Chains A and B, each alone.
Chain A
Amino acid sequence: MRFVRHHLLTAYAALALIYLFLPISVVVAFSFNNPAGRFNYTWAGFTWKNWTNPFGYPGLSGALKVSIEIAFASSIVATVLGTLIALALVRYRFRGSATTNLLIFVPMTTPEVVMGASLLTLFVNWKVPQGFGTILIAHILFNISYVVVTVRARLVGFDRHLEEAAMDLGANEWVTFTRVTLPLIMPGILAAGLLAFALSIDDFVITYFNAGSTITFPLFVWGAARVATPPQINVIGTAIFVIAISGMLANILFQNLRARKGAVTV
């Protein structure tokens, strides 16, 4: 009975992951499709040519590069800013905490089309040229709230006694923070960063308004879809997450190797 129950959870988790990847498997499959026309909607035959020529569409690689750069930059900045806010909100009681809470929630409630358009109004009024920079600003903007909410969930459950213990043992506040607190809330910060990355790389509406003439990957795909859905898009999408997952795998294996080789470190 315990066997079943123990493995029930694993089976469930496996099913959940399968569900998550069901459309992705279709995307991967269709990256090998060989349509005669420009649409990639129905299966027409197997080919390797999309994979041998993934950047066959002019503009696709440039758009991808822009999206990845913005995703990295905006998720890092938003994670830093958001973590600081979360720390302030959870650890301290101060006047204006309610207003700050509100200010964190309201951007999430704003429909994308008006957020994008009103931000554009700001840039136009202040004569800020639209392009890479304004996209970055917009992405950091909407990512902050998501980071705050995620990191806060971690901080709320954090056991302050550990910090007290460290201070009792002579560590000052900064050392306590960096050696005790930060490592323990790191999973929360990492999760928030991942979420911000995902939000940024998939954003369309807000990016559209504030991109000027810069083109990101989602903008390219949405734009092209009016006349074509080249299989190369599927190839690129598949490739990105294969690379990401391989990178993560390599990192984990590397850590394991180090842990086995290295002596016990404190």
Chain B
Amino acid sequence: MLHRRKAAIPYLLLAPGIAWLAVFFIVPMWYLGKMSLSQGLFPLFNFGWAWGNFSDAVSAYQTQFIRSGEYAGIATLIALVLSYPLAYWIAFRGGRWKNLFLLLVIAPFFVTYLIRTLAWETILSDNGVVVRTLQHVGILGSNGRLLATSAAVIAGITYNFLPFMVLPLYVSLEQIDARLIEAAEDLYASKAQAFARVTLPLSLPGVFAGVLLTFIPAAGDFINAQLLGTPRQYMIGNVIQSQFLAVRDYPTAASLSFILMAAILVLVLLFARVLGTERLTVGA
């Protein structure tokens, strides 16, 4: 009796959340799936097992797929490098003020994306202090600019996903018992060794989570490329956006979406394999 009751517990815990996802995500995905295998012109689409949609989509927009992966990957890496020390500081030195700093990390989101980006456009303006300094120092050519370049797009993506990296890292780091690090040092480890052998491995679940929460949505992003980039920076998110809204070619938009989703999942699986999933997703 007890055994059966115990076996039911995970399912009971899952039930409400999974039910929500099942109804409000899986069903819409079903509609999307049917659309991806349809053909026709708006508004008459006929379902017809049109597998060709997928191959057409991949061949037509290869560049944008690859570019999205690149941009998202670079942005995630930069975000990781920027966020880890910040999360570390909050976790180990934040003290009573930890929650305040967490709030500070997400506070920029209260100002809408558009206004934040307009502010960046002001800061990175061709005639602004930043660009002129970089031109003076020689990093940018005399006619160089920051806006409407891939640097701007990647910077925009990085900035807007920073909290998604900081918070999971913090969550994992904060849990580490400082005494473990002390113990390592007592055993003659240098600070660097203590970090590499104790802290870093223990924070890996946070690193994994942060990378996922940054890379996955970044790969499908469109708005940063639209506002901060030229047509040569446009990502697959832009393609899907325009195929859906402007061209109203729903089958293409749907098949592009599924290809993107599948590609991201494959990358995630590979990444998890490299890091060792068991350690990252199942408790001790």
Contact = CB atoms under 8 A, between A and B. Distances in A.
Contacts of B63: none
B46 interface: no
Given A109-B265, A110-B261, A9 B10 contact: no
Contacts of B254: 114
A92 B9 contact: yes
Contacts of A150: 167-168, 171, 209, 213
A140 B191 CA distance: 43
B82 interface: yes
B69 interface: no
A245 B283 CA distance: 34
Given A17-B104, A155-B283, A82 B17 contact: yes
Interface in A8-22: 9-10, 12-13, 16-17, 19-22
Contacts of B181: none
B18 interface: yes
B106 A121 contact: no
Interface in A168-221: 184, 187-188, 190-192, 194-195, 197-199, 201-202, 204, 217-218, 221
B28 interface: yes
Contact of A90 (B85, B241, B281): B281
B28 A12 contact: no
A190 B102 contact: yes
B284 A190 contact: no
B245 A241 contact: no
B281 A156 contact: yes
A20 B97 CA distance: 18
A interface, over-half SS? helix
Contacts of A109: 216, 219-220, 260-261, 264-265
A165 interface: no
B229 interface: no
Contacts of A119: 24, 28
Given A90-B282, A149-B168, A201-B109, A144 B257 contact: no
B270 interface: no
A153 interface: yes
Given A90-B281, A195-B164, A154 B171 contact: yes
B163 interface: yes
Contacts of A50: none
B110 A237 contact: yes
A136 to B, nearest CB: 11
Interface in A120-155: 121-122, 125, 137-138, 140-141, 144, 146, 148-155
B261 A137 contact: no
A188 B171 contact: yes
B116 to A, nearest CB: 5
Contacts of A111: 220, 222, 237, 240-241, 257, 260
Contacts of A108: 212-213, 216-217
Interface size class of B (residues with CB under 8 A): 35 or more
Contacts of B162: 20
Nearest to B103: A248
Contacts of B115: 27, 221, 229, 233-234, 237
A91 B284 CA distance: 9
A61 interface: no
Contact of A12 (B25, B26, B85): B85
Contacts of A256: 96
Which of B118, B170, B241 has the most chain A CB atoms closer than 10 A to its own CB? B118
Nearest to A14: B89
Given A22-B123, A101-B281, A249-B100, A198 B106 contact: yes
B24 A222 contact: no
A5 B100 contact: no
Interface string B248-284: 0000011001001100110010000000000111111
A88 interface: yes
A196 B104 CA distance: 15
A88 B14 contact: yes
19 contacts: A17-B101, A20-B159, A24-B116, A26-B119, A92-B10, A106-B29, A108-B216, A108-B217, A110-B261, A112-B220, A118-B31, A122-B28, A146-B164, A153-B205, A218-B114, A237-B110, A238-B111, A240-B111, A256-B96
Given A154-B175, A187-B174, 20 more contacts: A10-B89, A19-B82, A21-B108, A23-B108, A23-B123, A89-B281, A102-B265, A108-B216, A108-B217, A111-B257, A118-B28, A118-B32, A119-B28, A149-B213, A153-B171, A187-B175, A222-B114, A225-B114, A238-B111, A245-B100
